[in-house]
Amino acid sequence: MRYLNAIAAHEIFVASGIYRRYIGDSISEYSESWTQHDVGGGAILTRIDQDARFTEGWSRLAEVLQNPEGGIERVKIQTNHSGVNAPFRMMKSDYSFLDGYVQIARTLNGKVSYDEIDLPEGTFVRLLSFLLFWGMALQRAQAGDIEQLPVFVPFHKPNLPPGRVTIGKLPTIENVLPETVMINGRERYTVRYVTLGKRVIWLDNQGVPLKFNHATGQFSDILHDYAHR
């Protein structure tokens, strides 16, 4: 697994795993590795390595810092493209969530730009481009009262702003059921969510997604090498 910043000596292990993508019964070369560590006082730093270098010619490294209550305080994302016709070679985005606004620094092919976006009170930070953070979004959507919920969405494309506040844009849950399933040869107690568009996600009792069946039905993501304290 690759990191934006190496794990420091004072960090305490919380959890780790790697999502493997399956197309039918065949495993693809796409993977999404992650680790979580307590960096002090109950704050959790998640590191993510999305590796599509051998499937689509890009990769993305990220760090997400959450406070002890689970709120997102900072997000760092670095995306690299290697293809001949790539839209860019490297883009870095650094989001600092403060009281009432988010500060953003974006570096695109060496050129730096800065933005500030106002955040209404109670804004939820949506990170659905990372499989691990689907659990957080599903649990917030299940809690209800999201029709007027402000949601901040970071963007990863250079022709878009670095992010935007939307209203109520969380997964629409059609069905929730407890289910015991076999995953990687082990029996797991899960909560199964079916969202609008027929995506199916199984969460464990830590809120970690163990398996995704995507809406197209053509591929799935399954968590391997999962460990937690």
Residue 226 lies in a domain: no
Residue 20 lies in a domain: yes
Residue 187 lies in a domain: no
Q: Give the model's pLDDT for residue 82.
A: 85
Alpha carbons 94 and 64: distance in angstroms, whole number? 10
Ranges of residues in the chain whose predicted pLDDT is under 50: none
Q: Give the model's pLDDT for residue 46.
A: 98
Q: Give the model's pLDDT for residue 69.
A: 96
CA distances from 97 to 72, 94, 125, 134 (A): 7, 10, 9, 20
Q: Give the model's pLDDT for residue 97.
A: 98
| Nearest by Cα to 94 from 143, 134, 42, 154 | 154
pLDDT digits (tens, 9 = 90+) for 131-189: 999 999 999 999 988 999 999 999 988 889 999 999 999 999 999 999 999 988 899 99
Number of separate domains in the chain: 1
What does pLDDT average to over the chain? 94
Residue ranges making up the domain that contains 80? 12-170
- Beta-bridge partners for 38: 12, 44
Residue 45 lies in a domain: yes
Residue 43 lies in a domain: yes
Residue 2 lies in a domain: no
DSSP 72-105: EEEEEEEEEE-STT-S-SEEEEEEEEETTEEEEE
Q: Give the model's pLDDT for residue 27.
A: 94
Q: Give the model's pLDDT for residue 144.
A: 87
Q: Give the model's pLDDT for residue 132.
A: 98
Residue 68 lies in a domain: yes
Phi, psi of 41 (to 5 degrees): 70, 15
Residue 114 lies in a domain: yes
pTM of the model: 0.95
